[in-house]
Amino acid sequence: MTDTGLVFDVDGVLVDTSLSFPAVVSAAIQIGAKDILGYPAPFRLFDDGHYNIARRSPMFNDDYDIAWVFLSWIASGAALQGGGGPVSRLDWERLIASCDGSPEEWCGSVFQSPVDRGSVRKTCEEIYFGEEKYLLFRGVSPEIRIGGLWKRERPCLEKGWESLDIPTGIYTGRNRQELQLALNLLGWDGFPPHLCITPDEGISKPSPRGLKILEERLSVSRIIFFGDSESDRKAFEAYGKGLFVPIGPSFDSERGGFPDIRTALEFPWISKPQ
């Protein structure tokens, strides 16, 4: 028995999404901007630098909201004032630095006419799931006919959750269908659904509610939370006990950070917390 449970974020921790979600956001912005501008942009509007800046903001637990906010910025006319090239990363960083709440509240207060959030999310889902999975999960054929960028993802851990031999939960920004693809990839198909907190429950990071609920469901008194983003860290700080373990390049220079989940789980204080 242990009084400590492990909780994992998924993207960037259990699953390498470096070739999927950044490309989904970029493609959705390129498609959405064509409708806003009335013509295809002759250059790439959103690159990995823009994406990494967004991931450092606690506002963006959900990558699809990155596309929505960026497109709302373009629609406002402020993003492409120069009109001669890609959107300034510095201007993008300055813009989102002003957010201290949820994307929905902030976007509505900053932009007079933000683009339709549901339409942007639909575009992102069609690109991510691809034709076959979108039809399976949504029951209708997508407008965008591609193979699905989820196929680019790779597992970051090659061991079953049962072998961790400690109460384990998941707190993710993925919806249930996206999470199922990740669990299949990991070989965690039998992972208990009630130990997975997703936005489908109406709970999203940086809220600490997911950690508090998992503490109760795992029957532990503290959580060790593995995360790769500021929204993960903020959720843990609000939770207020246990340990936050930073994973991945966003925390390379941070004391106590780990390059990947495999390295983190090799530490004895993880497998046998005191």
**Positive/negative CA dihedral, 250, 92, 44, 21:** positive
Residues 266 and 249 grouped into a single domain: yes
Residues 145 and 159 grouped into a single domain: no
d(CA 171, CA 159): 19
Domain boundary (103, 123, 149) is at 149
Give the count of domains, the chain: 2
pTM: 0.91
pLDDT one-digit tens code per residue, 131-148: 999 999 999 999 999 999
Range of the domain at 69: 21-149
Domain boundary (86, 119, 149) is at 149
d(CA 103, CA 99): 8
Residues 12 and 120 grouped into a single domain: no
Residues 120 and 31 grouped into a single domain: yes
CATH of the domain at 247: 3.40.50.1000
CA dihedral 260, 262, 266, 271 (to 10 degrees): 100
pLDDT one-digit tens code per residue, 75-132: 998 887 655 567 899 999 999 998 877 888 899 889 988 999 999 999 999 999 999 9
Residues 165 and 219 grouped into a single domain: yes
d(CA 17, CA 118): 23
pLDDT one-digit tens code per residue, 11-23: 999 999 999 999 9
In sequence order, what are the residues at sequence separation of 6 or more whose Cβ sits closer than 8 angstroms to the Cβ of residue 153?
15, 16, 17, 19, 20, 181, 182, 185
Structure tokens at 242: 């246990």
